[in-house]
Amino acid sequence: MTTPRNISYRIKEPVICPICGMKYYKEMLLTGGGRLIAGNLTPELRRLYLPSKKYGVVIPLIYPISVCPGCFYASFGEDFTKIQDTEINKIKMETSTRKEGIQKIFGKLNFEENRTLITGAASYILAIDCYQKRGYQIAPTPKKAICSLRAAWLLGDIHEKFPDIGYDKIQKFLYLKAVHYYKIVMEIMSTGSEPHDQFTHLLGPDTDKNWGFDGVIYLNGYFNFKYLDEFTSSNEEKVKLLEDTKRMIGKLYGLGKASKAKPSVLINLARDLYEAINEKLEEITGVKVVE
């Protein structure tokens, strides 16, 4: 079964939910044929796509999360059936709470229908909730970070379409969740407290290109700058956070020196962030930053 515009298809073999036993046929995005026309890359490393004349707007982000239409259990596809009995019991016990909670945000949801912007955003929020109940062996924290950021992006898209409902407030909440989780991911990268092989291929943060650990470092710096006022109201603490962030970003792009090891796009974004931090430091301290 495909959508009328042949954007997606259903896999032939049914997926069996390990939580409630429901069988369903997962929807997958078709690629090629001019379906995806890449646009700009945002400072948050999100790839924007231009609508095509034949297929209209295609949003790859809405498809990666598997969601059981029966109990709303959700995860990245690779983790869906790779689940322990203790985790199954925890997720099963909260089925009613999970379904009621997400439908309070979006209204009635049907995950047997083709994905939309609404069910795409909901899938990531459901995955965050379910990953809260998963063990370290599948590296749930980086996955919660990625899901939080992608959900925030999609909530922003929904807010543009329905500006009077208040989705921007949920978007900000999810951004702050992403900030929180990305800081922990930085620790995981150095300590190995969650297995790297379970999440490095998903670091994205978007689906078009994996920026890897460099992307995590950059996003931590970007979030520190973007949400500076959320972290502290003290100018002294702001200056310290900005200085720490500047050192982190400076190492990422070699203090302005070109590096073959770093993609030029990421170097340019890091440089822009570095300069914005300097401007903010000058604004707070009244002292011109001299490199």
How many angstroms separate the Cα of 32 from the Cα of each of 18, 77, 116, 210?
A: 33, 22, 20, 19
| Mean pLDDT (whole number) for 15-32 | 94
Side-chain half-sphere exposure of 52, counting CA atoms within 13 A? 14
Q: What is the pTM of this model?
A: 0.93
The pLDDT of residue 11: 92
pLDDT at 1 over 60: no
- 191 contacts: CB under 8 Å, gap ≥ 6: none
Judge whether residue 12 has pLDDT over 50.
yes
Instruction: Summarize pLDDT for 125-156 with one digit per residue, the tens.
Output: 999 999 999 999 999 999 999 999 999 999 99
Q: What is the pLDDT of residues 25-66, one digit of tens each?
A: 999 998 877 788 889 999 999 999 998 888 888 899 999 999
Residue 290 has what pLDDT? 65
Q: How many Å apart are CA 291 and CA 276, to the nearest integer?
A: 14
pLDDT of residue 244: 92
Are 177 and 164 spatial neighbours (Cβ–Cβ below 8 Å)? no
| Predicted local distance difference test score (pLDDT) of residue 277 | 94
On the question of pLDDT at 220 being above 80, the answer is yes
Q: What is the mean pLDDT of residues 90-96?
A: 97
Confidence bin at 166 (pLDDT 50/70/90): very high
Average pLDDT along the chain = 91
